[in-house]
Amino acid sequence: MDKPFIAGKTHMENFDCIMICVMLGLSMDRNEMLKLARRFGLVSKYEHDPYISYYALHKGCHSSPELQKHLQDLFGRRYALIKKELAGVADAGGGRADKMVRELFRSSPGGVIWNLLTDGNDIFKGLGVYNVHRVLLLGMEAYLSDSGIEASFKADASPGLGELVDKAQNNQVDKTAEELVRLKSMIDECGREISALNTVSSEKDAKIRALEEKIVVLEARPESEGKLKRQIRKLEYELSQRGRMSTGEPVVPCPRSMNENKECDSIVVEDESRFCENAGSGVCRLDKMKVAVVGGIERLIPRYQEVVEKMGGRFFGHDGDCSGQGAKQLANMVCQAEIVVYITSINSHNALNVVRATCRRSGRSFWVLRSASPDALERFLSEKGSSVQPPCGNHQFGKISS
């Protein structure tokens, strides 16, 4: 039963097996079939058997839309002239038309069958199907004749069954060897990638070890720095006390050392009258108030002390370092002070947290000074004077911009 022609499909999709095989056999030689089968990947590049390529093309015409379109375009271009000549057959008489078709069929049987099968007229399509079977039957009869068989073997020199088996085995060996070469190449590439990854991993391990060593050093640094700073403060305090002894002034212990029997972490000067600008008149702007300055530049601590003492106050200083015992020292200093000034430009968040929490617990306030300069501290204290400390219980803090 003939395969029905379905509208919307390409002509090659509508062809059955017999139509495809006849069209390929009439339109293409063996070399052309082999090249086309290799081009569309239907056979390997090592294949040379024309019959295998013929069979592969036959199967591809049923499964590959790309091959169907390629063959339709190829046959359409190749047999365009035959199509024009067949168009004049319809206008000719019966005997004359039959003669014209025979002459065209003799010169290009593939072209005639292609244009008949692809014509929109059902009569021409039927004539095309008829000629397909006619060509197939005539070809088989010619092959089965003694002279035809003998001629086909002489022209083709087809191999015997044993040769075909040997050829298939050789092809399989070639394919296996090719696959082994490909796999070896992939293994070599993987080896190179693994070597590169090992190198990168070794470099990263070395970097990680270096960073771990640096972390150990950094973790130990705050404790050592804090210890050195405490020793410096202690020496400064002892130097200050010895200076007072050399001038015959009384030496007063640090308030922190009296209360807790621990080393002092700030510089304290009890006799502020010798620094107060208004000592002679009996009027000092800070009036012996204890002023705690938290943060700022460490080398300017003596300047901060000088500003506070010249205004008649008692100076407590802390650099804001809360490592080790620094947080406890800062909290004790804030508790003892009547005025707390926190310098924000050079300080730590930990110090701010300690000051805020201590003031909240003790019911006092602290003042924020953004500038670390001694002049800014002096302007602030001069402006506020003895009224700088807000009423007890006020937990808010002021912000001084200068």
Domain residue extents for the chain: 11-160, 161-251, 252-400
Rounded CA separation 162/159 (Å): 8
In this prediction, residues 261-275 reach a mean pLDDT of: 39
Arithmetic mean of pLDDT over the chain: 76
Residue with the bigger pLDDT between 384 and 156: it is 384
Does the pLDDT at position 266 exceed 50? no
* pLDDT band of 104, cuts 50, 70, 90: confident
State pLDDT tens for residues 14-62. 889 999 999 899 999 989 999 999 999 998 877 888 889 899 999 989 9
Rounded CA separation 332/66 (Å): 89
Q: For residue 332, give the amino acid letter.
A: N
Residue with the bigger pLDDT between 259 and 342: it is 342
Please say whether the beta carbons of 295 and 319 come within 8 A: yes
pLDDT > 90 fraction of the chain, expressed in percent and rounded: 17
SS3 for 277?
Answer: coil
In this prediction, residues 64-73 reach a mean pLDDT of: 90
SS3 for 316?
Answer: strand
pLDDT reported for residue 244: 56
Does the pLDDT at position 294 exceed 90? yes
State pLDDT tens for residues 45-57. 778 888 898 999 9
Maximum average pLDDT range among 11-15, 86-90, 149-153, 288-292: 288-292
Does the pLDDT at position 282 exceed 50? no
Rounded CA separation 9/156 (Å): 37
Half-sphere exposure of 60 (CA within 13 A, CB side): 23
Q: How many CB atoms lie within 10 A of CB 243?
A: 11
Rounded CA separation 218/197 (Å): 31
DSSP 276: -
State pLDDT tens for residues 359-393. 988 887 788 988 888 999 998 888 766 455 443 33
Pick from 111, 122, 89: nearest CA to 27? 111
Tokens standing for residue 354: 């300690």
Does the pLDDT at position 305 exceed 60? yes
Please say whether the beta carbons of 11 and 117 come within 8 A: yes
Of 146-150, 296-300, 359-363, the range with the lowest mean pLDDT is 146-150
Half-sphere exposure of 209 (CA within 13 A, CB side): 5
SS (H, E, C) 71-116: HHHHHHHHCHHHHHHHHCHHHCCHHHHHHHHHHHHHHCHHHHHHHH
Q: How many CB atoms lie within 10 A of CB 245?
A: 11
In DSSP terms, 341 is beta-bridged to 293, 367
* pLDDT band of 95, cuts 50, 70, 90: low
Does the pLDDT at position 144 exceed 70? yes
pLDDT reported for residue 165: 56
Residue with the bigger pLDDT between 13 and 9: it is 13
Q: H-type helices in 145-287, by residue range?
A: 146-156, 161-246, 255-260
pLDDT reported for residue 203: 87
- In order of 254, 283, 346, the CA distances from 340 in angstroms are 18, 22, 16
Contacts of 100 (CB under 8 A, 6+ apart): 85, 88, 89, 92
* pLDDT band of 355, cuts 50, 70, 90: very high
Give me the CATH topology for the region 252-400: Rossmann fold (3.40.50)
Rounded CA separation 218/212 (Å): 10
In this prediction, residues 154-182 reach a mean pLDDT of: 67
SS (H, E, C) 9-60: CCHHHHCCHHHHHHHHHHHCCHHHHHHHHHHCCCCCCCCCCHHHHHHHHHHH
Straight-line distance from the first to the last Cα atom of the chain, in angstroms, rounded to the nearest whole number:
104
